[in-house]
Amino acid sequence: MDINSIIIKKRLGDVRGELNNDEIKYFVGKWVKGEIKDSQAAALMSYIYTNGLTEEEIIRFVIEVGNSGDVLDMSEISDNIVDKHSTGGVGDKVTLILLPVIAALGLPVAKISSKGLGISGGTIDKLASIPGFNTNISIEEFKNNVQNIGISIVSQELNLAPAENKFYKLRNEISCKDSIVLIAISLMSLKIATRK
């Protein structure tokens, strides 16, 4: 198995182009390790953008991307931990207001945020602009905050779903940011990385 055969298979765009679990696992694992070039990943992502993915392929990608780094087990804190995700924008009109309200209502909130691309900045960028606000907390501190305060936001710069970060950056660079399947992989893989 090699990346070129996977790209060629996905190019087919019909039932013959459905990637199996081993191919998806190979791609995600090798890409995170730097053994697959971004140009090769861009080719595959472009064919995914054009030809789509089956429901089974989406599930396989979500699991592999979510498990591409450290995985947090939050079940010891609560059976009901919530998260909210945004696809971006200029202002943080929801996250910074809604999450503390949810936490105040007694529902623990655990959010993974990434840095923004382009002019808008991500939630982590906005929080880092507050004097004295520490966005570089450890996984243990993140979990302690959720348990003791009811809310925590952690930077994805920890080793949480590093493949998602690569997907996010590349899909924006190659004008695939409006792909519903690629967005679904990104969003759901972050949830897998913080199992609740």
Decide if pLDDT at 121 tops 80: no
For residues 96 and 61, the model is more confident at 61
Model pLDDT, residue 87: 59
Model pLDDT, residue 65: 96
Q: How many CB atoms lie within 10 A of CB 20?
A: 14
* Dist CA 118 CA 12 (whole Å): 33
Instruction: Find the mean pLDDT for residues 124-129.
Output: 82
Model pLDDT, residue 61: 97
The CATH code that applies to domain 3-69+161-195 is 1.20.970.10
Instruction: Find the mean pLDDT for residues 56-71.
Output: 94
Among 71-85, 146-160, 171-185, name the most confident range. Answer: 171-185
Tokens of 175: 């004008």
- Report the share of the chain in percent with pLDDT over 70: 92
pTM: predicted TM-score of the whole model, two decimal places: 0.82
pLDDT digits (tens, 9 = 90+) for 129-171: 889 988 888 888 999 999 999 999 887 777 888 999 899 889 9
pLDDT digits (tens, 9 = 90+) for 24-40: 999 999 999 999 999 99
Return the half-sphere exposure (C-beta side, CA atoms, 13 A cut-off) of residue 10.
Answer: 26
pLDDT digits (tens, 9 = 90+) for 86-111: 655 566 678 888 999 999 999 999 88
- Phi, psi (degrees; rounded to nearest 5) at 51: -100, -10
* Dist CA 165 CA 16 (whole Å): 29
Q: What share of the chain is helix, strand, coil (3-state, %, to 5)?
A: 50, 10, 40
Decide if pLDDT at 124 tops 70: yes
Residue 160 DSSP label: B
Decide if pLDDT at 70 tops 60: yes
- CATH fold for the domain made of 72-155: Pyrimidine Nucleoside Phosphorylase; Chain A, domain 2 (3.40.1030)
Domain range annotation of the chain: 3-69+161-195, 72-155
Instruction: Please give the mean pLDDT across all residues of the chain.
Output: 88
Model pLDDT, residue 108: 94
Buried b (16+ CB within 10 A) or exposed e, 48-87: bbeeebeeebbbbbbbbbbbbbeebebeebbeebbbeeee
